Amino acid sequence: MQAAVQCYSPKIKILIVEDEPSVAMTMRFLLGLAGCEAEIASTRARAIQLAQSGSFSLITLDINLQGANGYDICRELRENSRLRDTPIVFVSGNCNLEDQQRGLDAGAADYITKPFETFEFAPRLLSHIKSFRASDVSDEIADADTEGFCDSTQRNQ
Is 24 within the bounds of a domain?
Answer: yes
Is 64 within the bounds of a domain?
Answer: yes
Reading across the β-sheet that carries 13-17, which strands appear in turn? 37-41, 13-17, 58-61, 88-92, 110-113
Quote the pLDDT of residue 142: 56
Beta strand pairing status for 37-41 and 13-17?
parallel
Average pLDDT over residues 90-118: 95
75: confidence class by pLDDT, cuts 50, 70, 90: very high
| 6-30 tens-digit pLDDT | 444 557 999 999 999 999 999 999 9
Q: Could you tell me the CATH number of the domain that includes residue 151?
A: 3.40.50.2300
Is 3 within the bounds of a domain?
Answer: no
Q: Of residues 140 and 42, which shows the higher confidence score?
A: 42
The reply to whether the predicted model has a pTM over 0.95 is: no
Instruction: State the chain's mean pLDDT as an integer.
Output: 84
Q: Of residues 9 and 71, which shows the higher confidence score?
A: 71
Is 2 within the bounds of a domain?
Answer: no
Within 8 A by CB and 6+ apart from 12, the residues are 35, 36, 37, 57, 126, 129, 137, 140, 141
Residue range of the domain that includes 69: 13-155
Q: Which of 39, 98, 108 is nearest to 71 (CA)?
A: 108
Q: How far apart are CA 125 and CA 141, in angstroms?
A: 11
Four-residue CA torsion sign, 65, 69, 75, 76: negative
Longest dimension (CA), the chain: 44
Is 25 within the bounds of a domain?
Answer: yes
* Amino acid sitting at position 4: A
Is 8 within the bounds of a domain?
Answer: no
Is 4 within the bounds of a domain?
Answer: no
Residue 153 has pLDDT above 70, yes or no: no
Is 6 within the bounds of a domain?
Answer: no
Number of domains in the chain: 1
Q: How far apart are CA 47 and CA 45, in angstroms?
A: 5
Quote the pLDDT of residue 93: 93
